């Protein structure tokens, strides 16, 4: 990816994208927070996989505003892919792709918990260019641009490294989203010197790694809308990520799972080893 192409695609649009994300949250998400009726919530694939009117309305809003900002771009959104899985193929195409999770942490949103966020990333040919993570109920907005660093509410983000000798804190996949082999791999984290816990909103877990308040993640699913924004955020804050095979995570899929993102490369390798990586 050349610097010239990155500049051509983004130009001065990072602020405009932030404004679009903030507007979608203000118009479609926050007026519904703690105001949902029972028929505003639908189970997609079971009780832990929910969608609300806010998810759908916010994704439609962002699809319109983001493609208007960048003519010729396309959107891969969680709800659009649920309706038509072929939409996901755009990640492998030539057009710039907006990767959108309108409400990451829908379960938290449904229960009135403020720990949810909106995730947007821009990619082309499977390569991440920029990302935006907005937690409107927490007043936190994080941005990352490839090769240019990461910020939270306008201040630089640095992930740092875990304190020497201290146990590492790792957010892990919920058991409902793991295969038997993945469950067995995640059990490798139940060991001295590691404190695993179930993850909440993936986007906010990535933000915690980028801020240095969480040491690592260990996730067993690979949907791009959950991971794209956070992976770039962690990388640009100085962190690292790796799959079980010791390769960088690919947003186009086909990754060896589970995979980890961590505050530094040494921690990522440590977690990969505990997961059974070679």
Summarize the annotated binding site for Mg(2+) as residue ranges: 78, 101, 104, 226
Rg (CA), the chain: 18
Three-class secondary structure of residue 24 per DSSP: helix
Q: In Å, how far are 157, 168, 179 from 164, measured between CA atoms?
A: 21, 10, 33
Three-class secondary structure of residue 43 per DSSP: strand
| Sheet with 97-104: strands ordered across | 74-77, 97-104, 117-124, 127-135, 140-145, 149-152, 155-156
- Enter the tokens of residue 254: 């086909």
From the number of C-beta atoms within 10 Å of its C-beta (0-12, 13-18, 19+), residue 39 rates as exposed
- Enter the tokens of residue 64: 């319109």
Contact partners, residue 252, CB within 8 Å, separation at least 6: 91, 92, 126, 224
Q: End-to-end distance of the chain based on CA atoms, in angstroms?
A: 30
Distance, C-alpha 248 to centroid of its chain: 15
Nearest to 21 by CA among 120, 99, 98, 109: 120
Beta bridge partner(s), residue 59: none
Instruction: List residues forming the annotated binding site.
Output: 78, 101, 104, 226
């Amino acid at each position: 990816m050349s610097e010239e192409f990155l500049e051509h695609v983004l130009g001065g649009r990072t602020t405009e994208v932030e404004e679009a994300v903030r507007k979608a949250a203000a118009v479609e998400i926050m007026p519904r927070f703690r105001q949902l009726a029972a028929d505003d919530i639908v189970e997609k694939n079971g009780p832990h996989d929910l969608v609300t009117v806010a998810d759908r309305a916010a994704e439609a809003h962002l699809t319109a505003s983001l493609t208007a900002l960048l003519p010729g771009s396309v959107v891969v959104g969680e709800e659009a892919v649920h309706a038509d899985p072929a939409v996901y193929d755009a990640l492998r195409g030539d057009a710039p792709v907006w990767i959108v999770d309108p409400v990451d942490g829908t379960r938290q949103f449904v229960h009135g918990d403020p720990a949810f966020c909106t995730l947007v990333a821009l990619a082309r040919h499977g390569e991440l260019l920029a990302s935006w993570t907005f937690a409107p109920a927490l007043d936190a907005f994080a941005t990352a641009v490839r090769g240019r660093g990461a910020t939270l509410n306008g201040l630089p983000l640095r992930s740092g490294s875990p304190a020497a000798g201290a146990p590492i804190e790792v957010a892990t996949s919920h058991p409902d989203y793991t295969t038997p082999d993945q469950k067995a791999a995640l059990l490798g984290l139940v060991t001295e010197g590691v404190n695993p816990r179930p993850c909440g909103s993936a986007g906010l877990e990535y933000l915690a790694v980028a801020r240095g308040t969480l040491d690592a993640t260990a996730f067993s699913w690979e949907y791009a809308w959950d991971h794209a924004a956070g992976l770039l955020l962690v990388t640009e804050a100085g962190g690292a990520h790796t799959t079980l095979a010791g390769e960088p995570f690919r947003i186009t899929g086909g990754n060896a799972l589970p995979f980890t993102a961590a505050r530094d490369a040494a921690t990522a390798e440590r977690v990969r080893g505990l997961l059974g990586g070679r």
